[in-house]
Structure formats: structure tokens, C-alpha cells
Structure 1
């Protein structure tokens, strides 16, 4: 049921406001949409994240699940201390709630991801992890 809701939401293509935020000068986040979903107490949040060549998003975690789709280039992810995995353009990665992870663009050109989060209403989206 949850998978069906998630796929329906993603394929629904609802677009709302756009606001750019910077995680660092080399990693930029653009909030695309945030909506309550049909599961009481949960909302879906979509963000485009652009990584300049060599850019690194340090270890962090989210209070909800994250589904990553690489829009452009390739990104290397380290999830919960496991060996790094490279996801190429068109590839996807699922990160469970509360799991520590980081991302890096090891390529020589811009790489981008579409991140979709399913989180509890009014919870913070991200928490840095040492």
C-alpha cells in the first residue's frame, strides 16, 4: 500500500513553488514541493540537489525515508558506513529513515539528484551527523 502511494505521488507530477537553498557553495538545494499525503500525519517533500564537480554533502540523516533519482551525471553515496556505491544518471537509491549517509560528485561536471522524502508532518527534514 505504501509503495503504491509513493509511486502515485511521484508520478502525479504536482509542482508547486521553488526556492533555492545552499547546503554549501558547491552543493545547492532547490525545494520543489511539499504536500500532505493520504497517509495521516505524513507529508512528501521533493528537492533537487545540484553538486558541482568534487562537491561533498557531509554525513547526515533524515527523519523519514528518502528516494533518490540521479537526474544528471553520477553521484557516490556512502550509506551507514558501508562501502561507497556510485549511482549513475537514471539510477535510484533508497535510504531508510534515520540512516546516516553522505554524497559526493567525483566527476568533472555538474551532477544532480531528485530527492523525495516521506516524513512526519512538521518534523525537520535533515539532521547533521558527526
Structure 2
């Protein structure tokens, strides 16, 4: 287990623990798996990733807003997919801390998450 990636804008806003990082069989991509904790009432801020995010809500209730898509309210056990480069925002609706397990299939050498406008 490694510490949060310093090339990740969200690491300063939310508790993010990088669990693993490895080269992908997909050319010019790497796979990064992260556990994110969002305290009740806190939002990630609008951001995007340089590749897909395949996620799963481990605990809590999280609202995910994705540009040009309907807003999702997800509960423990629900999965989600964010397309590459798509602005999105996650908010923990409480009352407990939301925990998300996300696997990113991203371009190596780019920040894992970058703040953006909706």
C-alpha cells in the first residue's frame, strides 16, 4: 500500500489511499486502484481523470454528478463508470463517511485527477 499520489489534485481534499499501480496490457495505459473516503457533507469538487474510472461504493451514500448525464445517488454495493476526461463531482450524503473503491485506466505520467469546471 502506498500513500496518496502527489500527482492527484483530490489528495489534498479527500482521504485517498493508492492501493496499487501497474502497467496495463492496453497500450499507453496504466491501472491505478484507489480507496477514497469522503466525510459526510463533503464533496470532491468538479474534476476529471485522464482515462476511465470504474468505481464501487464500499460504504455510505454518495451523490455523483457527471457532466451531461443524470445525477446518480449510489449506496454501498453500487457501481459506477465515469468516461475519460468527463467532469464529475461526488458528494457524501451522510450520515456516515462514504468510501469508494475506484480503478482508473489512465495515461501514465499525467495527474490522476485534475480539478476542472462542470
Are the equivalent residues in 2 in contact too, given 1:23–1:57 (CA < 8 A)? no
Partner of 1:34: 21
Give structure 1 stretches of 5+ with no counterpart: 1-16
Report the alpha carbon displacement of residue 18 of structure 1 after superposing the two structures with TM: 2.4
Matches of 2:110 and 2:3 in 1, distance apart? Answer: 19
8 A Cα contact 1:32 1:47, kept in partner: yes
The CA deviation at 1:107 is 1.3
Corresponding residue for residue 12 of structure 2:
23
Measured on the aligned residues, the alpha-carbon RMSD in Å equals 1.4
Residue 73 of structure 2 is aligned to residue 86 of structure 1: yes
TM-score when normalising by structure 1: 0.80
> Looking at both structures, which has the greater relative contact order when contacts are Cα pairs under 8 Å and sequence separation is at least 6?
2
Find the aligned partners of 1:107 and 1:46 in 2 and give their Cα distance: 24
1:75-127 Cα deviation digits (max 9, x unpaired): 10000054421111011000000100000011111110001100122122111
TM score, norm. by length of structure 2? 0.87
Among 86, 105, 113, the residue aligned to 1:126: 113
The answer to whether the aligner puts 1:72 opposite 2:72 as a matched pair is no
Separation in structure 2 between the aligned mates of residue 23 and residue 108 of structure 1, nearest angstrom? 22
Structure with a larger share of its residues in helix: 1
* Number of residue pairs matched by the alignment: 112
Q: Gaps spanning 5+ residues in structure 2: where?
A: 6-10
